[in-house]
Amino acid sequence: MNDMTDDKILARASATGPRRVIGVGTMGGLGLLLLWLAVMQPPANPLWLVFLIVLGVAALWVAQHMWRVTSRELLLTDEALTDSSGAVVARIADVVKVDRGAFALKPSNGFALMLKEPGKRAWYPGLWWRTGRRVAVGGVTAARDTKPMADIISVLVMRRDGTLPPEE
């Protein structure tokens, strides 16, 4: 866990147990199925056999990586969205737009952020990923956690930009 106190945390999001098991199980099952296929019904072309084995091992690696990273929690403060390991997902000062529309390029039960500047690529399957100026959050997280998180980020961005409508 990082050194932030709970009173600074505006929202939290984490993987739900069932979604985590289903996501990891599906990826692990795919890996085992591809390896089983390579052993039980090997293709005549050795290149296809290598392809099946490499893809099967890669799927198993992704499954174990997903299991490890989905044990983390996403934490939102006034300054940044981070995960519980301390990795910075996105700084609020860098967020241009929050997108959680039905047709947005985003994970299940999640949202996407557009940043001012491209960031370093990062991939935490089931939790979040970043490529270029796009950050996507969600996957095996609960919508009850990510929806309010996206709303709070939107308010923080509007407050920063001075576009927050006055309270009535």
Cα angle 48-51-55, degrees, rounded to a multiple of 5? 145
Q: Is 127:83 a contact under the CB 8 Å cutoff?
A: yes
Over 80: is that where the pLDDT of 142 sits?
Answer: yes
How far apart are the C-alpha atoms of 135 and 115, rounded to whole Å?
8
Burial class for 141, CB neighbours closer than 10 Å (0-12, 13-18, 19+): buried
Q: Which residue carries 């296929």 as its tokens?
A: 37
Same domain, residue pair 88 and 50 = no
Q: What is the pLDDT of residue 105?
A: 77
Give the structural domain span for 32: 9-69
Q: What is the pLDDT of residue 168?
A: 58
Burial class for 139, CB neighbours closer than 10 Å (0-12, 13-18, 19+): buried
Torsion over CA: 159, 162, 164, 167 (sign)? positive
Over 50: is that where the pLDDT of 141 sits?
Answer: yes
Same domain, residue pair 115 and 150 = yes
Torsion over CA: 14, 17, 22, 27 (sign)? positive
Residue 3 is assigned to a structural domain of this protein = no
Structure tokens at 98: 């929050």
Q: What is the pLDDT of residue 109?
A: 84
Average pLDDT over the chain reads 90
Is residue 167 very low, low, confident or very high in pLDDT (cuts 50, 70, 90)? low
Q: Number of folded domains in the chain? A: 2
Residue 140 is assigned to a structural domain of this protein = yes
Picking from 50, 69, 88, the residue at the C-terminal end of a domain is 69
Least confidently predicted of 38-47, 50-59, 70-79, 104-113: 104-113
Residue 1 is assigned to a structural domain of this protein = no
Over 60: is that where the pLDDT of 6 sits?
Answer: no
Mean pLDDT, rounded, for 104-110: 82
77-100 pLDDT, tens digit per residue, is: 999 999 999 889 999 999 999 988
Picking from 69, 90, 108, the residue at the C-terminal end of a domain is 69
Residue 168 is assigned to a structural domain of this protein = no
For residue 50, give the DSSP letter: H
